[in-house]
């Protein structure tokens, strides 16, 4: 967490000597100024997709975090796949997700895997839950196929 704070202070063009003083004397204040949380792959959050253009998803909706925790440690940007409750629109390769206690979705849904998006953490409202292991395996499988890894 300290390194993330130092990184963001450097982005604000603070002098290194001031940075260390600020970290140790104003630790609570820094956490308030830079409230970045480490999001794990498979976490499900409400994300504000607006403003959008053309056929991009709109409104605030659930989304699953697909980037690694390693990237979350160094960036305030987060890559996600949107989740829709309109399961009738589910087409291959979209991934159906049944609502359960772990993911805490309002209803059965579908991960729209072709709609990968990256947003700043300021668009993330709150954590809903986490994807199950089988769903996360399917997401990772799609990513390997999509990016030819």
pLDDT in tens, 18-51: 444 554 444 444 444 445 677 899 999 999 988 8
Distances (CA, A) of 17 to 4, 24, 28, 70: 16, 11, 19, 27
Residues of the chain predicted below pLDDT 70: 1-36
Predicted pLDDT at 6: 57
Domains of the chain: 1-35 (no CATH), 38-146 (2.30.30.110)
pLDDT for residue 32: 44
pLDDT of res. 28: 46
Q: How far apart are CA 121 and CA 56, in angstroms?
A: 19
Task: Report pLDDT for 149.
Answer: 84
Alpha-carbon distance of 45 to 65, in angstroms, equals 8
| Residue 68 structure tokens | 């690694």
Q: Note the pTM of the prediction, 2 decimals.
A: 0.73
Q: How far apart are CA 34 and CA 146, in angstroms?
A: 33
């Amino acid at each position: 967490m300290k390194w993330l704070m130092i990184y963001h202070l450097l982005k604000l063009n603070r002098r290194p000597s001031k940075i260390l003083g600020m970290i140790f004397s104003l630790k609570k204040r820094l956490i308030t100024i830079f409230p970045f949380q480490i999001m794990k792959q498979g976490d499900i959050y409400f994300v504000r997709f607006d403003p959008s253009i053309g056929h991009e998803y709109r409104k605030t909706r659930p989304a699953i975090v697909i980037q690694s925790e390693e990237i979350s440690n160094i960036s305030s940007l987060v890559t996600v796949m949107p989740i829709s409750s309109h399961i009738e629109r589910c087409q291959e390769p979209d991934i159906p997700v049944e609502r359960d206690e772990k993911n805490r979705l309002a209803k059965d849904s579908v991960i729209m895997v072709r709609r990968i998006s990256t947003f700043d953490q300021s668009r993330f409202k709150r954590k809903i839950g986490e994807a199950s292991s089988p769903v996360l395996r399917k997401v990772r499988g799609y990513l390997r196929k999509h990016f030819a890894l």
